[in-house]
Amino acid sequence: MKQVILNSYPQGEPQVSDFAVVEVAMPVVAEGEVLLETLWLSLDPLIRFALDPVTITGRAHVEPGEVIYGGAVARVVESRNSDFTVGDVVEGRTGWTEYAAVDPARVPLRKIDATRAPISTAVGVMGMPGQTAHACMIGIGRVKAGETVVISAAGGMVGSTAAQIGKILGARVVGIAGGADKCAALLELGLDACVNYKADDFAQQLAAACPEGIDVYVDNVGGAVTLTVLPLLKYGARMPVCGYIAYYGVGMEGPGPDHLPGFMRTIMSKGLEVRGFHGQMVGGQQALEDIAGWIRSGQLQHPEAVVDGIENAPQAFVGIFGNNPYIGKLLVRVAD
């Protein structure tokens, strides 16, 4: 079988050469374990945290030679565990491998009901990204009808889902994305406006899209985009922070200049409420029920970008940090 392993620790943004595709023997299933055949791999930007030489953020850590960490949807093909039977479809962080022998006591597995939604959504809108979006808008953002919500990286799974939830709640939603094509796709999802952060007049366009200021800012990127948003925040604005991709691969002290004094001043002067959180299933079953209901009613779409073959996972993952064309959830289809 094939696996993707870490070849070397990335220096800054990951490169394809940081990964290697290898062939290894099929795993042997021990008592209490299940053998899983991977169907879908989830390519999440947060995987980058696990690839630093020293763990700064998160609990996962991958060393050179080890299988890349990440979520997957898989089918049970052999079971020596009474809680799972052959044919069960599960979701868990089993890594970039075609097959995995897993002890559910150590690697939690969630059984998937394939009648509720396509199984690929278990690592997308019906999984951690959907839960994150739900928390951003409802649990932390507390979005109300008539408010203005701005979402950075709105073309991603979290961003595009949060944007649609905002519209369901009656808010005015403005997305920030890279490129005219992405903005056009987001407008088709129902956003009120979308601003291209690559445009020379990005700041002016954003201000024009938010004439009464911003009540909630869902931050997925940090960096220059967030610095552009901060002056437009209203007093008492809420700022759920679920990503900062501009700083992934950067240590505790990034390259200058130091913008922290200005950010602290903004927190004080605007009464800004900033909250980071773990996106993993934070909304519980209620969030999944809400999302499933919105999908059934046609209020929530879940676009997916699919790459075929586990050997293409490194290239697709690296693209997340560059000029990627993807809208919605980025997946690797490993098996039918």
pLDDT per residue as tens digits for the range 46-103: 899 899 888 776 678 999 999 999 999 999 999 999 999 999 999 999 999 999 999 9
Sequence-ordered list of residues with C-beta below 8 angstroms from that of 295, at least 6 positions apart, any chain: 117, 125, 302
Q: How many CA atoms lie within 13 A of 20 on its CB side?
A: 12
Partners of 238 in the β-ladder: 216, 273
Residue 249's pLDDT is 74
Mean pLDDT of 256-280: 88
Residue 114's pLDDT is 86
pLDDT per residue as tens digits for the range 228-250: 999 999 999 999 998 888 888 77
Among 49-63, 255-269, 303-317, the range scoring the smallest mean pLDDT is 49-63
Cα separations (Å) of 24 from 37, 68, 192, 310?
A: 15, 14, 50, 14
CB atoms under 10 Å from CB of 7, counted, come to: 17
- Note the pTM of the prediction, 2 decimals: 0.91
Distance of alpha carbon 201 from alpha carbon 3, whole angstroms: 44
pLDDT higher at 113 or 33: 33
Residue 255's pLDDT is 76
Structure tokens at 314: 């490194």
| pLDDT surpasses 90 at 326 | no
